[in-house]
């Protein structure tokens, strides 16, 4: 029983990490864009745009719609 619960926890943690990773990247890259300069800042801007493309905005819009109505 203990092994099964450990596996379930690992699977759920992995799914949670996949869902939260793009948001975490947006926060860290946003801070790096502010404090970097030159070519490094351009690289961080590209990373920021790539992170935005990985976010499922349909799910976000559905959540906001449910909260508003």
Closest among 48, 51, 53 to 36, alpha carbons compared:
48
Tell the burial category of 34 from Cβ atoms under 10 Å away from its Cβ (0-12, 13-18, 19+): exposed
What is the pLDDT, as a whole number, of residue 56? Answer: 76
pTM: 0.60
Confidence category of residue 3, pLDDT binned at 50, 70, 90: low
pLDDT tens for each residue of 10-66: 777 777 777 777 788 888 888 888 998 899 999 989 988 888 888 878 887 887 888
Is the pLDDT confidence value at 6 over 80?
Answer: no
Q: What is the DSSP letter of 55?
A: S
**29 C-beta neighbours (distance < 10 Å), count:** 21
């Amino acid at each position: 029983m203990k092994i099964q619960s450990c596996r379930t926890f690992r699977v759920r943690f992995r799914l949670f990490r996949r869902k939260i990773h793009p948001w975490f990247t947006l926060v860290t890259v946003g801070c790096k864009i502010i404090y970097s300069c030159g070519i490094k800042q351009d690289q961080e801007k590209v990373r920021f745009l790539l992170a935005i493309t990985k976010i499922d905005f349909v799910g976000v819009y559905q959540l906001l719609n449910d909260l508003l109505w």
